[in-house]
Amino acid sequence: MAKQPRSLSGKVVVVTGGGRGIGAATAAALVAKGAGVAIGDVDLETAKATALRLGGGTIARFLDVTDRPGFTAFLDDVETTLGPIDVLVNNAGIMPLSAVEDESDATAIRQLELNLHGVIHGSKEAIRRMKPRGSGHIVNVASVAGKGGFPGGATYCAVKHGVVGFSEAIRLELRGTGIEVSCVMPSLVATELTAGVADSPFVKRAQPEDVADALVAALQVPVFDVFVPKSTGYITQFMAAFPRSAREWMARRLKADRLLIDAAGGHDRAAYEARAAASTPHAEDQIAEKAAA
């Protein structure tokens, strides 16, 4: 018998990086289900505009997830305003592209702090708040890049592998506590993050709404692995049965190994790369300290 979908009406949901792209689409889908949504984003003006457009009591606050005390204070503020947090969606992330030898230390640090450490800290904070109540749901947005390696995005792949592994581990740690964990792994999505990246020859580019719908479905009927589109999950499982040499041959044959590296440094990505470089104001202190050492 199919499980009865859980109602999201009245649930308090936090979406990091919720001002645009997948985050904004997720916030919209949640509001449509009756949830009370808090958007956290380093671009406060965009976050406010998104919250105003969505209505439903959606609130927007400044959030730099690399500022861990600030992240904690943000969650405290949300709980004061909307009530105890039922769902945390760790969505904030960036994808700078370059050959690994051309990547600066600053770019690597930004990704480690935002894409990985931000997820770890957010999850810890969610657990601390949810565990005493015996309920809650943590959703970590990773990527199919967390299941493979793609030239041109080596550090991005590293951090997304980290998000997948971290999510798998805390899911097992939290068994029996009432806290659910889901890991969302989109393929290419039509957002600014994939600007200049060619379409995959074997997987259709998803829309942000596709990811949002899959994420909401995982909240209603809890599931850990959330691939978008679903076919990427089947492809991942199928390819895992072959030796590495065969998998790499197939990637070269389909030119999947060129998707990110060919986009790196392209004119189409200039605006996104500039915004990504400005997305971690708190982490810049660490970057400056490292440069001065």
Catalytic residues, by residue number, are 156
- Report strand pairing: 136-141 vs 225-228: unpaired
Report the distance separating Cα 145 and Cα 122, nearest Å.
Answer: 21
Q: How far is CA 217 from CA 86, 155, 220, 273, in A?
A: 15, 30, 5, 32
User: Largest Cα–Cα distance of the chain, in whole Å?
Assistant: 62
Amino acid code (one letter) for 45: E
Q: How far is CA 188 from CA 76, 82, 179, 225, in A?
A: 34, 33, 29, 17
Residues 6+ apart with CB under 8 A from 239: 247, 250
CA nearest neighbour of 175 among 134, 116, 142: 134
Report the distance separating Cα 190 and Cα 17, nearest Å.
Answer: 16
Phi, psi angle pair for 98, to nearest 5°: -175, 165
